[in-house]
Amino acid sequence: MQTRLALITPGPTPIPPQVEAALAEPLLHHRSPDFRALLTETLERLRGAFATDGEVLMFAGSGTTGMESAVCNLLSAGDRVVVATAGNFGERWVRICRAYGLDVEVVEHAWGEKLDPRRVAAVCDGARAVFVTHSETSTGVVHDVRALSEAVAASGALLVVDAVSSLGGVELATDAWGIDVVVAGSQKALMTPPGLAFAAVSERAWKAAAGARLPRFSLDWAAAREAQRAGNTAFTPPVTLVAGLRAALRLIDEHGMPAIWAHNRRMALAVREGVKALGLGLFSPDDESSAMVTAVRMPAGVDGQRVHATLRDRHGIVLAGGQGPLRGKIMRIGHMGWMSDFDMITALAGLELALIEHGHRPPSPGAGAARAIELFAKTAA
Amino acid sequence: MQTRLALITPGPTPIPPQVEAALAEPLLHHRSPDFRALLTETLERLRGAFATDGEVLMFAGSGTTGMESAVCNLLSAGDRVVVATAGNFGERWVRICRAYGLDVEVVEHAWGEKLDPRRVAAVCDGARAVFVTHSETSTGVVHDVRALSEAVAASGALLVVDAVSSLGGVELATDAWGIDVVVAGSQKALMTPPGLAFAAVSERAWKAAAGARLPRFSLDWAAAREAQRAGNTAFTPPVTLVAGLRAALRLIDEHGMPAIWAHNRRMALAVREGVKALGLGLFSPDDESSAMVTAVRMPAGVDGQRVHATLRDRHGIVLAGGQGPLRGKIMRIGHMGWMSDFDMITALAGLELALIEHGHRPPSPGAGAARAIELFAKTAA
């Protein structure tokens, strides 16, 4: 009997019971005072989560929807833009920009590398916008967007950051770091089911949007801002998901962001050390910059896709496999959102059991879980 | 004490308990066999709801998202298109087409009129696409899209139908009526919270899409089709809403579409007759073509917006007010989705009570509800 499915992935992440309860509340009409109050509180708390005094816009959609909104609201056909890539989600910026007919200069890094601010800054002159990823979920690397922002500043190009999988899980100070646009989604560190996208927009970005000629309608930022200022949305919003998000943001505000970041760093450290104790290598950096997801190298001759299936079908544990060139080669463990120390121990124990079934033996039984427990005992929760 | 809020609007509509239960099921990972089975069944049932053997594509978003997907996938900048309007949602097609730089010919009808197939056909030659509305929710008119399809056929233009508020509530035979694209949303007759959009795409529309140059990324039909054929979605889907939709479609399939249409017609008849018994006039047609929503004229000197607020704040009944030029002048009662005869009696009783508070007295107490009960007694449920 499979009793419980453990979702220990970099998103969707588990939903806290308070959020589940809010999701199950009776449906509100989206043009009602009750919804207006719900939306207003949610947007105010989102500003806190983005660390911005500016507008945070909300759209129905996936994280990619938020990314696309930045491209079509900021630019005109033929504009020169720079995209820095080091994995699947960096490459998504390239695909979106090309779909919109932009002149794209790609600063390509190998999957797993950290974006190099000097390489990016070297090609920014004359670019209208620079697109980067905060947490590159495909590799486990959290890029240093603060350094990227400083490096790009002199060029005058707008800096647009994909924080879909990082917002709320690791520090990101939109205003203080001088980032023009930050996009995010509901289903990662924000602990809500997928279906909502966000864009935090700076004054400089609003000016650019006013002159941008790429076509857009349901993703039009100005229409969204006008509606939101009246406590409304431009089009029918996913009402239940907004109710869930408010509950999640209340939880986040109760704990405080710094405590959540510390919790994630602590879980990440235990996973890294546990993985090494299992005799496995890390693909993601062996430091705090892999704060959201740890990418574990599969032992030689072991197919990660098969390990992934064993974990899911035999042990009820959902981790994430590798994407693109990393398919079958790595396994990714999420440590963000509503996850606990014991989820990390479960992930390490499950990984050990599944690898044994695929012929890889750890140095000693339970070595990964034991190392994690040792670390958790040393660092107060 | 306000004990219960009754949502008797043309969407969002009340959620059946089976759908609420499905919405509350544990979150599935969107790249898992469980989700693949959920998506596959849902798409298959959607094909039934659209009465098509072709592909029905699913997107995260509102009904407008589905409409926008048709514009950006079928056309290239400067293409000539025809839009027939007779209310708020017809005008939305105009705004979307203009946002994308199309050459738009508007066949304007007064709000509340039925679209005239001859007027539309007269200007279709040389147009690449014709955009119409099925149920014009702002006025209560269900347009005769079958006649529109026949009238437009000779021109060779693609016919695109907004069925956001009609699909599942009134007959719409995508294939049999020769409609090229039908777009819909989850939150009306499909009895699911808002957040999902759909597009049924004919072979002819796929050919047009292959040559269409307007930019699109997350709404790209070809990417959606490729992913769906692999039991997947191109981008993270609103997983919980898909689970809810499957439950709703199972309910619909259990009852059978014709029985649901008959139920809606029966509720609509009782509302029309009840409204007249209250001494009020109908804005929507006094026949079966107002199958989804009845628009009631407010008595002279009575502000519909104030009646709307009284109904909501004093009686816990949410109806819909008038939009655009009809603001304050009409009240709209929905009869679709998970609504019963007794919801209609509630709407009529509430309307009577609220109007009395605003100075309008019915011919005799309870006249509207009494007339509805009389009709319900005569026609078997």
Do B91 and B199 lie in one domain? The reply is yes
- Residue B4, pLDDT score: 67
Do the chains contact at B238 and A193, CB–CB below 8 Å? Answer: yes
- The residue-averaged pLDDT of A108-137 equals 97
Do A264 and A180 lie in one domain? The reply is no
Do the chains contact at A27 and B9, CB–CB below 8 Å? Answer: no
Do B229 and B302 lie in one domain? The reply is no
Cβ atoms of residues B81 and B105 within 8 Å:
yes
Tell me phi and psi for residue B30, to 5 degrees: -75, -10
Do B358 and B288 lie in one domain? The reply is yes
Rg (CA), chain B: 21
Would you say residue A164 lies in a domain? yes
Do A334 and A187 lie in one domain? The reply is no
Report whether pLDDT(A1) > 60.
Answer: no
Do the chains contact at B195 and A241, CB–CB below 8 Å? Answer: yes
Cβ atoms of residues B290 and B381 within 8 Å:
no
Classify A273 in phi/psi space as left (phi over 0), alpha (psi -120 to 50) or beta.
alpha
Q: Crossing angle, helix A304-315 and helix A341-357, to 10 degrees? A: 110
Do the chains contact at A215 and B7, CB–CB below 8 Å? Answer: no
Query: Could you tell me whether strands A135-136 and A158-162 are parallel, antiparallel, or unpaired per DSSP bridges?
Result: unpaired
User: What band does B219 get if pLDDT is binned at 50, 70 and 90?
Assistant: very high
Smallest Cβ–Cβ distance between A214 and the set B12, B215, B238 belongs to: B215
Sign of CA dihedral A338, A342, A348, A353: negative
Q: Looking at CA atoms only, how far is residue A380 from chain B in angstroms?
A: 30
Residues 6+ positions from B220 with CB-CB distance below 8 Å: A99, B73, B234
- List, for residues B223-274, the tens digit of each pLDDT value: 999 999 999 999 999 999 999 999 999 999 999 999 999 999 999 999 999 9
Q: Which residues pair with B161 in a beta bridge?
A: B132, B182
Which residue, of B255, B270, B296, is where some domain finishes? Answer: B255
Smallest Cβ–Cβ distance between A27 and the set B7, B27, B63 belongs to: B7
* Cα–Cα distance for residue pair B251/B21, rounded to 1 Å: 13
Q: Which one of A217, A226, A308, A315 would you mutate to disrupt binding with B, by most B Cβ within 10 Å of its Cβ?
A: A217
* Cα–Cα distance for residue pair B100/B180, rounded to 1 Å: 20
Residue B33, preceding peptide bond in cis (omega within 30° of 0)? no
Would you say residue B12 lies in a domain? no
Q: Which one of B5, B27, B192, B331 would you mutate to disrupt binding with A, by most A Cβ within 10 Å of its Cβ?
A: B27
Q: What's the whole-model pTM score? A: 0.94
- The residue-averaged pLDDT of B348-361 equals 94
Query: Could you tell me whether strands B80-85 and B129-133 are parallel, antiparallel, or unpaired per DSSP bridges?
Result: parallel
Closest-approach residue (CA) in chain A for B321: A31
Q: Looking at CA atoms only, how far is residue A265 from chain B in angstroms?
A: 24
Smallest Cβ–Cβ distance between B24 and the set A11, A24, A72 belongs to: A24
Do the chains contact at A237 and B68, CB–CB below 8 Å? Answer: no
* Residue of B44, B333, B11, B66 whose CA lies nearest to B189: B11
Q: Looking at CA atoms only, how far is residue B343 from chain A in angstroms?
A: 16
Would you say residue B149 lies in a domain? yes
- List, for residues B129-143, the tens digit of each pLDDT value: 999 999 999 999 999
Which residue, of A198, A221, A255, is where some domain finishes? Answer: A255
Smallest Cβ–Cβ distance between A27 and the set B12, B100, B238 belongs to: B12
Smallest Cβ–Cβ distance between B60 and the set A30, A65, A214 belongs to: A65
* Cα–Cα distance for residue pair B90/B87, rounded to 1 Å: 6
Do the chains contact at A68 and B30, CB–CB below 8 Å? Answer: no
* Cα–Cα distance for residue pair A352/A346, rounded to 1 Å: 10
What is the residue whose two structure tokens read 């490459």? A91
Contacts of A195 in chain B (CB under 8 A): 60, 195, 237-238, 240-241
Contacts of B72 in chain A (CB under 8 A): 215
- Residue B10, pLDDT score: 87
The pair of structure tokens assigned to B308 is 């709307």
Do the chains contact at A240 and B195, CB–CB below 8 Å? Answer: yes
Cβ atoms of residues B26 and B36 within 8 Å:
no
pLDDT averaged over chain A?
95
Do B170 and B33 lie in one domain? The reply is yes
Do B145 and B220 lie in one domain? The reply is yes
Percent of chain B with pLDDT over 70: 98
> Domain count of chain A?
2
Would you say residue A11 lies in a domain? no
Do B249 and B299 lie in one domain? The reply is no
Do A244 and A271 lie in one domain? The reply is no
Report whether pLDDT(A343) > 80.
Answer: yes
The pair of structure tokens assigned to A156 is 């005058």
The pair of structure tokens assigned to A338 is 């509503």
Do the chains contact at A23 and B240, CB–CB below 8 Å? Answer: yes
Neighbour count for residue B155 (Cβ, 10 Å): 19
Would you say residue A108 lies in a domain? yes
Q: Which one of A235, A323, A339 would you mutate to disrupt binding with B, by most B Cβ within 10 Å of its Cβ?
A: A235
* Residue of B234, B76, B311, B364 whose CA lies nearest to A32: B311
- Residue A5, pLDDT score: 76
Do A55 and A96 lie in one domain? The reply is yes
* Cα–Cα distance for residue pair A78/B349, rounded to 1 Å: 60
Would you say residue A277 lies in a domain? yes
Would you say residue B275 lies in a domain? yes
**Least reliable range by pLDDT among B74-83, B210-219, B357-366:** B357-366
Q: The CATH number of the domain where B144 resides is what?
A: 3.40.640.10
Do the chains contact at B27 and A11, CB–CB below 8 Å? Answer: no
The pair of structure tokens assigned to A99 is 């779909």
Tell me phi and psi for residue A24, to 5 degrees: -90, 0
- The residue-averaged pLDDT of A209-217 equals 98
Q: Which one of B25, B218, B242 would you mutate to disrupt binding with A, by most A Cβ within 10 Å of its Cβ?
A: B218
Would you say residue B166 lies in a domain? yes
Q: Looking at CA atoms only, how far is residue A230 from chain B in angstroms?
A: 16
Smallest Cβ–Cβ distance between A61 and the set B31, B218, B220 belongs to: B218
Report whether pLDDT(A329) > 80.
Answer: yes
Q: Looking at CA atoms only, how far is residue B20 from chain A in angstroms?
A: 7
Closest-approach residue (CA) in chain B for A65: B218
- List, for residues A219-259, the tens digit of each pLDDT value: 999 999 999 999 999 999 999 999 999 999 999 999 999 99
Closest-approach residue (CA) in chain A for B101: A215
Report whether pLDDT(A179) > 90.
Answer: yes
- Residue B137, pLDDT score: 95
Smallest Cβ–Cβ distance between A215 and the set B7, B214, B239 belongs to: B214
Print the domain residue range for B236: 17-255
At B297, which amino acid appears?
Answer: R
CA B232 to chain centre: 26
Between chain A and chain B, how many beta carbons pairs sit less than 8 Å apart? 147
Neighbour count for residue A209 (Cβ, 10 Å): 22
- Residue B3, pLDDT score: 57
- Residue A194, pLDDT score: 95
* Higher-pLDDT residue of B277, A24: B277
User: With b meaning 16 or more CB within 10 Å and e meaning fewer, what string describes A218-247?
Assistant: bbbbebbeebbeeebbbbbbbbbbbbbbbb
CA separation (Å) from B46 to A119, A229, A252, B222, B254? 49, 36, 38, 18, 14
Contacts of B237 in chain A (CB under 8 A): 62, 194-195
- Residue B1, pLDDT score: 47
Which residue, of A226, A255, A284, is where some domain finishes? Answer: A255
Neighbour count for residue B110 (Cβ, 10 Å): 10
* Cα–Cα distance for residue pair A32/A368, rounded to 1 Å: 52
Q: The CATH number of the domain where B281 resides is what?
A: 3.90.1150.10
Do A281 and A294 lie in one domain? The reply is yes
Contacts of B62 in chain A (CB under 8 A): 60, 218, 235-237
CA angle, B330 then B332 then B337, to 5°: 170
Q: Which one of B187, B236, B331 would you mutate to disrupt binding with A, by most A Cβ within 10 Å of its Cβ?
A: B236
Do B314 and B185 lie in one domain? The reply is no
Residues 6+ positions from B226 with CB-CB distance below 8 Å: B234
User: What band does A6 get if pLDDT is binned at 50, 70 and 90?
Assistant: confident
- Residue A3, pLDDT score: 57
Cβ atoms of residues B152 and B123 within 8 Å:
no
Smallest Cβ–Cβ distance between B238 and the set A194, A216, A312 belongs to: A194
What is the residue whose two structure tokens read 């040389």? B126
Query: Could you tell me whether strands A181-185 and A158-162 are parallel, antiparallel, or unpaired per DSSP bridges?
Result: parallel
User: Element (H or E) spanning A35, and its range?
Assistant: helix A33-50
- Residue A4, pLDDT score: 67
* Cα–Cα distance for residue pair A321/A328, rounded to 1 Å: 7
